[in-house]
Amino acid sequence: MAKRKVRIGLVGYQFMGKAHSNAYRQAPRFFDLDWEPELAVICGRSEGPLRAAAEKFGWAEVETDWRRLVEREDVDLIDVSTPGHMHAPIAIAAAQNGKAVWCEKPLANTLDEAMQMRDAVANAKVPHALFHNYRFAPATALAKKMIDNGDLGRIYHFRAVYLQDWIADPNFPLVWRLEKQFAGSGAHGDINAHIIDLARLLVGEIAEVSGHLETFVKQRPKLAAVDDRLGGVASKEMGDVTVDDAAMFLARFQNGALGTFEATRFAVGRKNHNRFEINGSKGSLVFNLERMNELEYYSAEDPEDLRGFRCIQATDASHPYCANWWPVGHIIGYEHTFVHLVADGLSKMAKGENPSPDFEDGLRNQRVLDAVERSSASRSWIGTC
Ligand code: SOE
């Protein structure tokens, strides 16, 4: 059967633009897809760096106005990989133009925007997806299979941390991720969103939360040059940090399990330490992104003298996605999670299904993010519905 080409229009060419470009190129090379991505147009504000990115990542054309991009007849899918404040306007306009819309996480900067985005894709009846890539690590997908098989029994605890330290230096400049008008929130929406998504995938929906958001460094040097998370050039003038540096919360799941969540950019020494532990009546699982090919598993049903955490190396052909790469033991990396997300999403679209996770997942995630912010402000437990 002839392969259908899905012409991608990507808005954004920094870190996520790079990761997504790689995923669109690699997915059809390593997965047998009926619908194959075509790197049609990459969009950004500055033509010079944009052309360089197009050349480097292999995009056919460039566009400096996203409004023109979403109206182009020769583009089928809009990928929103911009700072958070542009997610809603671009995704809504893309949906209204009948495009499939794939968006980076978190879905939006506010709950209201997330609702508008979900409504826009639902009303337009267009496919929609959300780049919660850590669902697509083979070890995470294996954890999902094991939990769904009942291997852990009744789940009591979900315990997750997402620890970074890239702004622990108070002289790090005031980049867009540190301003509410652009990012919506700080570590909370940026990386708590990831562990909330994993919690929803592996344990279930969160019923209520009690949290606290903290900003340790209240002012930073304003940027004299480009607004780039990678640092840019600091000026002498100081500006206010208007988002959280760290966000922690307790959660009660609808199924009665308890959760603890910690997201911070001040865990000095931790670079991208995304770790979860799940404890159930029959055993426990531990995943650590910095050892992403491994899943630690403890079974309470092992013979007593043999009980202990075993390390499953999720690189065998029997493990999710691994048959498409290398022989067992030849590990894969961060970028492969995006390739798996793209392959999975396009495979679903080819079958007339919607990708997962999608904007409904994004809205449910945003409800949790919003409830934690309201809990922190009111110093009380808040329901997420
Ligand atoms: C910055 O915290 C960041 O790039 C996040 O935005 C990504 O979602 C995460 O995967 C890595 O860190």
For residue 223, what is the domain's CATH number? 3.30.360.10
Residue 255 above 90 pLDDT? yes
Interval 99-155: pLDDT, tens: 999 999 999 999 999 999 999 999 999 999 999 999 999 999 999 999 999 999 999
Assess whether 40 and 57 both reside in one domain.
Answer: yes
Determine whether the shortest distance from the Cβ of 309 to ligand 1 is under 6 A: no
Residue 6 above 70 pLDDT? yes
Interval 342-367: pLDDT, tens: 999 999 999 999 999 999 999 999 99
Assess whether 115 and 194 both reside in one domain.
Answer: no
Beta strands across the sheet bearing 246-253: 310-313, 294-299, 283-288, 273-280, 155-163, 258-264, 246-253, 206-214, 382-383
For residue 104, what is the domain's CATH number? 3.40.50.720
Assess whether 155 and 264 both reside in one domain.
Answer: yes
The whole-number average pLDDT for the span 60-72 is 98
Residue 385: its pLDDT value, please?
82
Residue 356 forms part of a structural domain: no
Assess whether 117 and 210 both reside in one domain.
Answer: no
Residue 2: its pLDDT value, please?
79
Instruction: Calculate the average pLDDT of the chain.
Output: 96
Q: Are 9 and 77 in contact (CB under 8 A)?
A: yes
Residue 225: its pLDDT value, please?
65
Ligand 1 geometric centre to CA of 351 (Å): 31
* Residue after which a domain boundary falls, among 98, 133, 168: 133
Structural domain span for residue 250: 138-291+293-332+363-383
Assess whether 122 and 173 both reside in one domain.
Answer: no
Residue 342 forms part of a structural domain: no
Assess whether 105 and 162 both reside in one domain.
Answer: no
Query: Mind spelling out the 3-state secondary structure of 165-220?
Result: CCCCCCCCCCCHHHCHHHHCCCHHHHHHHHHHHHHHHHCCCEEEEEEEEECCCCEE
The whole-number average pLDDT for the span 18-26 is 98
Residue 338 forms part of a structural domain: no
Which ligand 1 atom minimizes the distance to the CA of 131?
Answer: 8
* Residue after which a domain boundary falls, among 104, 133, 162: 133
Which ligand 1 atom minimizes the distance to the CA of 190?
Answer: 6
Residue 231 above 70 pLDDT? no
**Residues above pLDDT 70, as percent of the chain:** 98
- Measured at the CA of 162, the angle between CA 369 and CA 283, to 5 degrees, comes to 100
* Band (235; pLDDT cuts 50, 70, 90): confident
Residue 310: its pLDDT value, please?
98
Assess whether 164 and 208 both reside in one domain.
Answer: yes
Assess whether 122 and 142 both reside in one domain.
Answer: no
DSSP letter string, 291-314: GTTEEEEEETTS-GGG-S-EEEE-
> Which residue from 272, 336, 369 has its CB within 8 A of the most atoms of ligand 1, so it is best to mutate?
272
Q: Whose CA is closest to atom 9 on ligand 1?
A: 191
Overall number of domains in the chain: 2
Residue 369 above 90 pLDDT? yes
Q: Whose CA is closest to atom 11 on ligand 1?
A: 272
* Residue after which a domain boundary falls, among 90, 109, 133: 133
